[in-house]
């Protein structure tokens, strides 16, 4: 679950210091114009996303809607195959083929198909898209 925040240190003051979630990693991703803190909860993770470049979509999201829930991400074993199947089933895809995300192959499903939720799919490490996209 990814949450857009204005100030990562302030958000960690709540998620890490008050809720007590462990911080696995704080990663500046310059290509996406964000810094992300990953806080594992069971087998899932909360991602706190702070925009660092005002020209990005996530920065505009923060300016227009304020801090809050941004998207949820699920891991799949074969991303290209999953996208082909979903497209054939009438699901509205933002990315019809896997694209190179900072942390591996990713694709987004439009909130119109996700019942109001922006859904990201990532491919599990070692899946076929990793070699296709040449990581």
Least Å distance, CB 11 to its own copies, is: 5
**Largest separation between any pair of C-alpha atoms in the chain:** 45
Least distance between its own copies and beta carbon 48 (Å): 8
Chain positions contacting its own copies, by CB under 8 A: 1, 3-5, 10-11, 14-15, 18-19, 41-44, 48, 66-69, 72, 74, 86, 89, 91, 111, 113-117, 119
Of the pair 30, 40, the CB lying nearest its own copies is at 40
| Residue 94 beta carbon to its own copies: minimum distance, rounded to whole angstroms | 15
31 vs 64, beta carbon nearer its own copies: 64
Query: What is the closest distance, in whole angstroms, from the C-beta atom of residue 78 to its own copies in the complex?
Result: 12
β-strand partners of 48: 3, 37
Tell me 95's DSSP state.
-
CB-based burial label for 81 (10 Å; 0-12, 13-18, 19+): middle
Query: Quick one: 111 or 128, whose CB is closer to its own copies?
Result: 111
- Token pair 């990793």: residue: 130
Locate 93 and state its tokens: 């895809």
Question: Which CB sits closer to its own copies, 29 or 72?
Answer: 72
Residue 5 burial class via C-beta count within 10 angstroms: exposed 0-12, middle 13-18, buried 19 and up: buried
């Amino acid at each position: 679950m990814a949450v857009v925040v204005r100030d990562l240190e302030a958000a960690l003051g709540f998620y890490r210091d008050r809720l007590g979630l462990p911080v696995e990693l704080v990663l500046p991703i310059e290509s996406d114009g964000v810094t992300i803190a990953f806080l594992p909860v069971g087998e899932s993770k909360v991602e706190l996303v702070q925009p660092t470049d005002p020209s990005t979509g996530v920065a505009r999201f923060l300016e227009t809607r304020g801090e809050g829930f941004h998207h949820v991400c699920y891991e799949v074993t074969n991303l290209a195959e999953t996208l082909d199947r979903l497209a054939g089933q009438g699901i509205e895809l933002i990315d019809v083929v896997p694209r190179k995300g900072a942390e591996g192959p990713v694709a987004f499903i439009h909130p119109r198909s996700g019942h109001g939720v922006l859904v990201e799919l990532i491919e599990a490490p070692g899946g076929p898209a990793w070699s296709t996209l040449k990581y």
